[in-house]
Amino acid sequence: MQVNGKHYQTIWLENGTVFMIDQNKLPFSFEILQCHSWKETAAAISNMTVRGAGAIGAAAGFAMAQAFLEAPANSPDYLSEAQKQIEATRPTARDLFYASAEVFKSGDKISAVSRALELAAQNAEEGRMIGLHGHELIAEGTGLLTHCNAGWLAFVDYGSALAPVYESYRRGRRFTVFADETRPRSQGARLTAWELVNGNIPHYLIADNAAAYFMQQGRIQLVIVGTDRVAANGDVANKIGTLEKAIAAKTFGIPFYVAAPLSTFDLEANSGEDIPIEYRDAGELLFASGPCEDGTIETIRTAAPGTQALNPAFDVTPAEYITGFITSRGIIPAKAESIRKLFKNELKL
């Protein structure tokens, strides 16, 4: 994507160093972080400098490739220990496990780097194809709701849920995006809104609480969200709040699509119950950071001192609430049978 007239990917690997847009600094400052070792890259995943299903997949692949580059000769445990630590950074997104396993089994330094680069390129290509298949869902004049950030910042490029938005805009269609703020980390307000401002896409930022209201008012005709992991039966793990939006969409008869790169399908998870849900620090609800009027970044308290918070980062939306998956191979129903067909003739993905 273009930022300040220059093309950027969210994350890339160059001479053994991983470069990434620092998503904790966005939207107030656009900075590139360099990770010189697999441990630095893993830390960037767990502190969410890089976040979003696809982007952390690419990051995990790159980290694994860095581990190959850094591995001392004759230390067979080094790589499996690195893989274990990379996989421990975040539990929910399927891409992370997929990419680290793929690179792990590549066997040597050169193959590892090459496989990691290939996975990252696939990740961007998946987004591009999702855009090409999904844009037709966005009719002229549509009000489209999205939750969290599944834009290009969540991938290597293009994004998942926002890929059809960019493609539709490129084709001159007029529509309005409603972007949920997405508390507690406010990826909607910080990242999706930043992407949409950056891309000139007409949009409104709304409180998470307001989604059902705008559906009831007839302002929203379509929902597209991303996903961190899809189970074999079509259940979807995605950012906390997705379930609530899906239930509201069903109530108001609004189509609810999940943009899902192939790497997010986990055929070994029979249903949503097999997907681990990450709980994050309560501090995400109790404090907020951002720039004051003079530009200095401050952290303020946002809740009553002494209160306790519970902070699940994801939820599972049952397949029955999902109209379809937008994949790089086309749009399919959220049914076990359709998912099986998607991967027919492939041993595993």
Catalytically annotated residues: 228
What span, in angstroms and rounded, lies between the C-alpha atoms of 278 and 87?
Answer: 13
Per-residue CA distances from 263 to 48, 52, 70, 155, 346 (Å): 20, 13, 27, 12, 13
- Choose, by CB under 8 A, the member of 205, 230, 258, 322 that binds a copy of itself: 205
Cβ atoms of residues 208 and 129 within 8 Å: no
CA distances from 33 to 11, 42, 92, 274 (A): 9, 13, 24, 34
The two beta strands, 324-327 and 314-317, are unpaired
Among 105, 312, 337, 349, binds a copy of itself (CB under 8 A): 312
Q: Which is nearer to a copy of itself, 119 or 243 (CB)?
A: 243
Nearer to a copy of itself, 189 or 269 (CB): 189
> Which amino acid belongs to residue 69?
L
Neighbour count for residue 301 (Cβ, 10 Å): 10
Among 132, 210, 331, 336, binds a copy of itself (CB under 8 A): 210
Site for a copy of itself in 254-283 (CB under 8 A): none
Q: Which of 302, 337, 340, 349 binds a copy of itself (CB under 8 A)?
A: 302
Cβ of residue 271: shortest distance to a copy of itself, in angstroms?
13
CB of residue 134 to a copy of itself, shortest distance in Å: 23
Beta-carbon contacts of residue 304 (< 8 Å; ≥ 6 apart): none
The nearer residue to a copy of itself, 88 or 309, going by C-beta atoms, is 309
Measured CA to CA, the distance from residue 157 to residue 125 in angstroms comes to 8
In whole angstroms, what separates CA 280 from the centre of its chain? 16
> Which residue in the set 32, 139, 197, 349 belongs to the binding site for a copy of itself (CB under 8 A)?
197
Give Cα separations from 14 to 47, 65, 169, 277 (angstroms).
22, 11, 32, 33
Pick 57 or 241: Cβ nearer a copy of itself: 241
* Shortest distance (Å) from residue 309 CB to a copy of itself: 4
Nearer to a copy of itself (CB atom), residue 152 or residue 178: 178
Residues numbered 212 to 251 that lie near a copy of itself (CB under 8 A) are: 212-214, 216, 239-241, 243-244, 247-248, 251
Provide the 10 A C-beta neighbour count for residue 223: 28
Q: Which of residues 282-301 bind a copy of itself (CB under 8 A)?
A: 285-286, 288-293, 297-301
Q: Is 311 in the site for a copy of itself (CB under 8 A)?
A: yes
- Reduce the DSSP state of residue 217 to 3 states and report it: coil
Which of 42, 183, 227, 254 forms a contact with a copy of itself (CB under 8 A)? 183
DSSP state of 276: P
Q: Using CB under 8 A, which of the segments 34-42, 106-114, 167-175, 211-219 binds a copy of itself? A: 211-219
Find the binder of a copy of itself among 3, 69, 121, 303 (CB under 8 A). 303
Residue with structure tokens 């959220």? 334
Among 2, 74, 75, 307, binds a copy of itself (CB under 8 A): 307
* 257 CB burial (10 A radius; 0-12, 13-18, 19+): buried
- Total residues contacting a copy of itself by CB under 8 A comes to 64
Residues within the interface to a copy of itself (CB under 8 A): 26-28, 178-179, 181-184, 186, 189-191, 193-194, 196-197, 203-214, 216, 239-241, 243-244, 247-248, 251, 285-286, 288-293, 297-312, 315-316
